Chains A and B, each alone.
Chain A
């Protein structure tokens, strides 16, 4: 099964996707990541207002057997978290690109340029 990599999103080497909308960035994990992890059973997210630097760990996703850290693609402040995932973490397996984790208000929009585009990310998954 081919992994889905939407062209409108940005990506990180840590297998996160990012949707850029002005100053705001929505973050989730990619289809490749959810498939590698298997059944996701637990998600831990930061509090709203939490300040992040680029590459800081901001939470974890856990499968039955593994724990994976989540890393912030950019610097900024957490302005929203997807608390629905706390009761239904399996949604990440079902719809990785709809099951966003957090929204970040970026402190430096220039960092977006350092994210991977879909083509670069695709070659990372091969």
Chain B
């Protein structure tokens, strides 16, 4: 089992530790509900050092990115792009955020569970193509804290100085007396917030200062409910190698570019599924529960939780397109009983990101 550089601090804070993708990670510290509400109303800090960081460096780093991912990477310096990573069949290997630090330097942040698979894949694409750039897997060198919530800007400014010039999905390098950081205004909660990358030493020191400033430590449990409330997909739940971006409501990440890995297969594919958002007045939908419509099984809950913000059971569900065209009436089967679902066209809560 792997541990992040902050592991001892989590133990010291009495965190409940669970195995997550081979990592011993804090799932919560005190009360899950308190952690979720603090991120919506104040500021919480998450250790997400288990995530992977790859760097692409060279004159054609951005051209390589445009070849690698289906989303458009023609963005300004200091901007980030969310994208799925596709195989040649147009199916989803992982999802990632690619950060353009400069014309010749890109950082990619990937899911912990997929670091090795992604690295093997990206290396093979890099080898077969002839872009003038080098790739580096620096996942073991970086720790990462996500600071999330409406108060995160003022709190992080006190700790690190100038950050207010960062826009949503902006990124910059920052060097000062506290160390050398890469700071991005990104996150997985829907709230305003930052992700701060740095070596283990400076991130440990930042964590200590955040705790001293009264920031609430939050675990992966809160992070998961927060992302379901704003309907962000998670690999292994909404996203998988059996699905294309069109099967999981990620059409917006596929831009009509000249060429990218998986484009041919994707252009020829017919979407089979779609993701829907549902809530229940009574009962909590959970992953794996059947989703019905007109008395027929049409899909499955991919992520479900109680939302402490709207006090309802909420879920993302994958349903078959052929059985659900125009359908807005869904039911969820829970322990043999059928519960009528509310159909949502927008995320359960909007989140407060800038």
Contacts and interface: CB of A to CB of B under 8 A. Distances in A.
A62 B32 CA distance: 13
Given A64-B308, A65-B224, A67-B286, A39 B32 contact: yes
Nearest to A38: B32
Given A41-B284, A42-B283, A42-B284, A65 B305 contact: yes
**Does more than half of chain A's interface fall in helix, strand or loop, or is it mixed?**
strand
Given A41-B306, A41-B308, A42-B313, A65 B335 contact: no
A42 B335 CA distance: 14
Interface in B275-311: 283-284, 286, 305-306, 308
A65 B32 contact: yes
Point out which of B33, B36, B308, B313 has the most chain A C-beta atoms below 10 A from its C-beta.
B33
Interface string A34-74: 00001101101000000000000000101111010000000
B270 interface: no
A44 B282 CA distance: 10
Nearest to A60: B335
Interface residues of B, number: 17
Contacts of B36: 64
A67 B28 CA distance: 17
Contacts of B283: 42, 44
A65 B225 contact: yes
B31 interface: yes
Nearest to A39: B33
Contacts of B33: 38-39, 41, 64
B221 interface: yes
Given A41-B284, A65-B224, 18 more contacts: A38-B31, A38-B33, A39-B31, A39-B32, A39-B33, A41-B308, A42-B313, A44-B283, A60-B335, A62-B284, A64-B32, A64-B33, A64-B36, A64-B221, A64-B308, A65-B32, A65-B221, A65-B225
- Identify the 9 closest CB pairs spanning chains A and B, nearest first: A39-B33, A41-B306, A64-B306, A64-B32, A65-B221, A38-B32, A62-B284, A42-B284, A39-B31
Interface of A: 38-39, 41-42, 44, 60, 62-65, 67
